[in-house]
Amino acid sequence: MPSSFRAETAEAVQHARQHAVGDLLRRTALRHPDKLAVVAGQRRVTYREFDAAVNRCAHRLTGRGLGKGDRLALLSRNCWEYAVLVFATAKLGVVLVPVNFMLGAEEIAFILGHAGVSGLVAEEALLGTAAAALERAGKTAVLRARIGGTGENWESVTDWIDEPGDESAPDVLVADDDPLRLMYTSGTESRPKGVLLSSRSLIGQYVSCALDGSMSGDDIEVHSLPLYHCAQLDCFFSVDVYLGATSVILPGPDPAELLAAVARERATKLFAPPTVWISLLRHPAFGETDLSSLRKGYYGASPMPAEVLRELARRLPDVEFWNFYGQTEMAPLATILRPHEQLPKAGSAGRAALNVETRIVDEQGRALPPGEIGEIVHRSPHATLGYYEDEEKTAAAFEGGWFHSGDLGVLDDEGYLSVVDRKKDMIKTGGENVASREVEEALYLLEGVAEVAVFGVSHPHWIEAVTAAIVPRADVTLTEQAVLAHARAHLAGFKCPKYVVFVDALPKNPSGKIVKRALREAHAGLTRG
């Protein structure tokens, strides 16, 4: 902004140029006022009604003392109120802090304290946990509101939204890089990190998703993965709002409900991690459900096993698939594998998305040529503003002017990225590095394997022993001998599992990602067995 401009002139220009997340819903409502925006339970809401509800809620938040820069935590499963709060806070410049509803009171208390929240919204079923977390965090005086039910000292968010009130757009200037979200990572370290995202981060990412993911306003999408996770919230739901698509919100990814919703709403688009796609394929209702409306399928969080990709292609021949790879700090998209690349480049994370530049670097930050394994780094407006109240970790993550993902990868001669492993998931056995993903891909080729996770357990001789946890298909009997024989036929000896365990289910977080830390802890005693 030219320094010669008077303050009021500069502010008028900023208002006229404002393009923040909160503006997206208003503009869509102006373009498509009568189009179906959200289906959630019994609610079917147009974009005009959605925008009006968001404005009423925003004014209620203002009336309770929340303003630009304040933090509001949200502890809830997917619902209509969640969708409203996402955009109500964005219009005010209030920083939304989505909280994993699977966490315990102590873990939530850390987030509430670290974020310095001014309020907490919790669904009825989680009010006890929420109250305990507030008490432990010393946040007993903050605004408390509930979604559903009754609760002493807890205001009703539904009343904020449904009762008559001011439906005008809040007059708040939100700049491109004002923080709007504080997303806490899943906590691979002792404590989760708070990832700050701005409108610039998010909208740049929305554009990449929409263009590279062939999304449009004609889409009807079912959202079943948790909205507290940036994949469902920002790769899909918020992009649908930006484009004017229809969003069908489910409380969770129950396979029967998910299949029924696709059929009932004639959904054209669905995102799910590989674990959920597998659960759909294995569900008895899959073959009997009319999925003919479905045209676009997306997966992420972990690679899709090549054998599962081939099964999806057989059983859903009219559906095109995309692989979205990234992480919270990238808002979250970094690279995309497109439909025509799925089988020729099976297992790849694709190439850098529209607004992203990706490379592989060594320990000194030097770019590596194709074929060499190193750390995956990115440059992009998608990237986080940094870690909240943690300059040291922010400096380390942005060393050399690139965002360091913590993932190990390799580029081929055409620029396609293969994610070798998270640094922490690389198994170091007998002096050799083993990528758990490579072993998993080989084991998925064995008939009778429904799901598999490979990890390392401490071993006195091998340092780490390659271990496979397998969920067998219900109609197949698997033995350890059969698994090991199959592995030896497909893998070098040092990559073959030293231990095979059969389990009923793999531990997963609500976004569908397999929690290998829990597997390592549960099976740490194998070497003593």
Residue 464 within a domain: yes
CATH number of the domain to which 149 belongs: 3.40.50.12780
Residue 22 within a domain: yes
Mean pLDDT over 68-84 rounds to: 98
Residue 39 within a domain: yes
CATH number of the domain to which 492 belongs: 3.30.300.30
Domain count, the chain: 2
Mean pLDDT over 339-363 rounds to: 95
Residue 368 within a domain: no
Tell me the pTM. 0.84
Beta-ladder partners of 270: 222, 297
Write out the two tokens for 201. 């981060």
Q: Of 155, 178, 202, which residue sits at a domain end?
A: 202
Mean pLDDT over 518-526 rounds to: 90
Q: Is the pLDDT of residue 187 over 70?
A: no
Q: Residue 451: which domain range?
A: 430-528
Give the pLDDT confidence score for residue 102 in this predicted structure: 84
Q: Is the pLDDT of residue 190 over 80?
A: no
- The 10s digit of each residue's pLDDT in 276-300 is 998 999 999 999 999 999 999 999 9
- The 10s digit of each residue's pLDDT in 125-158 is 999 999 999 999 999 899 999 999 888 899 999 9
Residue 357 within a domain: no
Query: If residue 83 lies in a helix (H) or strand (E), which one and from where to where?
Result: helix 80-92
Please state the φ and ψ torsions of residue 413, each to the nearest 5 degrees. Answer: -65, -20
For 392-415, what is the HEC assignment? HHHHHHCHHHCEEEEEEEEECCCC
Q: What single string gives the DSSP state of each residue in 32-45?
A: -TTSEEEEETTEEE
Residue 131 within a domain: yes
Which of the four pLDDT bands, split at 50, 70 and 90, describes residue 104? confident
Integer Cα distance of 386 and 159 in angstroms:
35
Query: If residue 133 lies in a helix (H) or strand (E), which one and from where to where?
Result: helix 127-137
Mean pLDDT over 354-377 rounds to: 96
Give the pLDDT confidence score for residue 420 in this predicted structure: 81
Q: Of 202, 232, 258, which residue sits at a domain end?
A: 202
Residue 436 within a domain: yes
Give the pLDDT confidence score for residue 188 in this predicted structure: 40
Distances (CA, A) of 287 to 32, 92, 283, 284: 36, 46, 8, 7
Q: Of 202, 235, 269, which residue sits at a domain end?
A: 202
Amino acid at position 237, single letter: F
pLDDT, the chain, mean? 93
Q: 92: helix, coil or strand? A: helix
Q: Is the pLDDT of residue 25 over 80?
A: yes
Q: Is the pLDDT of residue 512 over 80?
A: no
Integer Cα distance of 25 and 23 in angstroms:
6
Integer Cα distance of 416 and 360 in angstroms:
11
Residue 190 within a domain: yes
Give the pLDDT confidence score for residue 431 in this predicted structure: 62
